[in-house]
Amino acid sequence: MKKLAVFFVSLLLLIGGIHSPSRSAAAEQEQVQVLIHTRLEGGEVVQGTEDITLSVYDLTSWRLTNELTEKEAKEFLLDKDATKETMKAFVENEKLQKLNSTPIKTDSEGKASVTVPRYQEGQDAAYLILAQGETGNQHLLPVVIFLPQYYPDTQKESYQLLFYGKYAEIVPPEPSEPPTSSSEEPPTKHPIEEPNEPIERSRTVKEYPQNSGKSYPQTNDVVRSYFEIGGLLVALGAIGLYYTKKKTGGRKNET
């Protein structure tokens, strides 16, 4: 009878072990509620943030790969001023999975609530929450969450987290000059006006003599100087011929 009782107890424990979820499976079912106040901690509304929405990204793999503490991760992400462009590039480069299929909206008091898993694939989860839809000159800074989080007084793990919005001024990007197209015609060069007073030429500039053989179609100076020399030679030849004939004629008369 005693052996039969031990058998039934062992059988019940075995059945209970088969049907009860494992510890890791139960951990996967644990949820953490995250409440975000998009207003400042004093309740002040930041202009242009009345209709913003939130998106939640799984940061667990990045957290484990880089082995950063929550403080170090926040310093790293916010060190780049956390602009929309840098955060978008970060999400794309790290291939972060977006958890919400539709944007998470805020209510009339600027609050938004989202529930996230305590674990991701059996590991302590981490999340990145980004905002969209700001219309003013301020944007909501990213929210970085590393789980677990504890109550500061009892050090008991908390499953309800509260975050107040922190904002930074949006700095518009500097306009860049459009690239010059190769098909565009170069700008017309305006002629340089000669100064009224003469400018002393540099001694390093090589100057050519007037009869160097260089041609200048604008003035045709060299071509004109050749005609002048030719005319002078003809005149000198005629004068010489005249005096030669005169001397020859004088000699004939003497004989």
- Half-sphere exposure in the Cβ direction for 253 (13 Å, CA): 6
pLDDT bucket at 110, cuts 50 / 70 / 90:
very high
Domain spans of the chain?
31-169
Q: What distance in Å separates the CA atoms of residue 83 and residue 200, rounded to the nearest whole number? A: 58
DSSP letters spanning 186-250: PPPPPPPPPPSS--PPPTTS----TTSS---TTT-HHHHHHHHHHHHHHHHHHHHHHHHHHHHHH
Q: How far apart, in Å, are the Cα atoms of 118 and each of 63, 68, 163? A: 14, 18, 17
Q: What distance in Å separates the CA atoms of residue 143 and residue 80, rounded to the nearest whole number? A: 14
- The dihedral sign for the CA sequence 59, 60, 66, 72: positive
- Please state, for a pLDDT cut of 70, what percent of the chain lies above it: 55
Classify residue 23 as exposed, middle or buried by CB count within 10 Å of its CB (0-12, 13-18, 19+).
exposed
Q: What distance in Å separates the CA atoms of residue 147 and residue 63, rounded to the nearest whole number? A: 11
Q: What distance in Å separates the CA atoms of residue 132 and residue 47, rounded to the nearest whole number? A: 14
- pLDDT average, residue stretch 38-54: 91
What is the structure's pLDDT at 140?
93
**Interval 156-175: pLDDT, tens:** 999 999 999 899 887 666 66
Higher-confidence residue of 174 and 102: namely: 102
**Interval 71-100: pLDDT, tens:** 999 888 887 668 889 999 999 999 999 999
pLDDT bucket at 199, cuts 50 / 70 / 90:
very low
- Residue of 53, 77, 54, 70 lying closest to 125 (CA atoms): 70
- Residue of 141, 117, 121 lying closest to 131 (CA atoms): 141
Q: Does the pTM of the predicted model rise above 0.75?
A: no
Residues 41-53 as b/e (b if ≥16 CB within 10 A, e otherwise) read eeeeebebbbebb
- Architecture of the domain delimited by 31-169: Sandwich (2.60)
What is the structure's pLDDT at 20?
41
Phi, psi (rounded to 5 degrees) for 217:
-55, -30
- pLDDT average, residue stretch 30-36: 96
pLDDT bucket at 42, cuts 50 / 70 / 90:
confident
pLDDT at 219 over 50: no
E strand spans, the chain = 31-37, 53-58, 97-98, 104-105, 111-117, 119-120, 123-124, 126-132, 138-140, 143-146, 149-150, 157-158, 160-164, 167-169
Q: What distance in Å separates the CA atoms of residue 58 and residue 71, rounded to the nearest whole number? A: 17
What is the structure's pLDDT at 106?
93
pLDDT at 187 over 70: no
Tell me the two tokens of residue 146.
């590393």
